[in-house]
Amino acid sequence: MSNAPQLHCSLKFLFALMQLKLWDKL
């Protein structure tokens, strides 16, 4: 359960990366 916060952070990081890639395409 102690890994939950870390996983959440990594998910947010991945989401930000995906957004950047989408903006790059635009």
Mean pLDDT score of the chain, rounded to an integer?
A: 85
d(CA 1, CA 19) in angstroms, rounded, equals 28
- Positive or negative, the CA dihedral 15, 13, 9, 1 is positive
- For residue 22, the one-letter residue type is L
Q: Is the pLDDT of residue 22 over 70?
A: yes
Q: Is the pLDDT of residue 16 over 90?
A: yes
The CA angle 26-21-15, to the nearest 5 degrees, is 125
d(CA 22, CA 10) in angstroms, rounded, equals 18
Q: Is the pLDDT of residue 9 over 60?
A: yes
Would the pTM count as exceeding 0.75? no
Greatest alpha-carbon span in the chain: 39
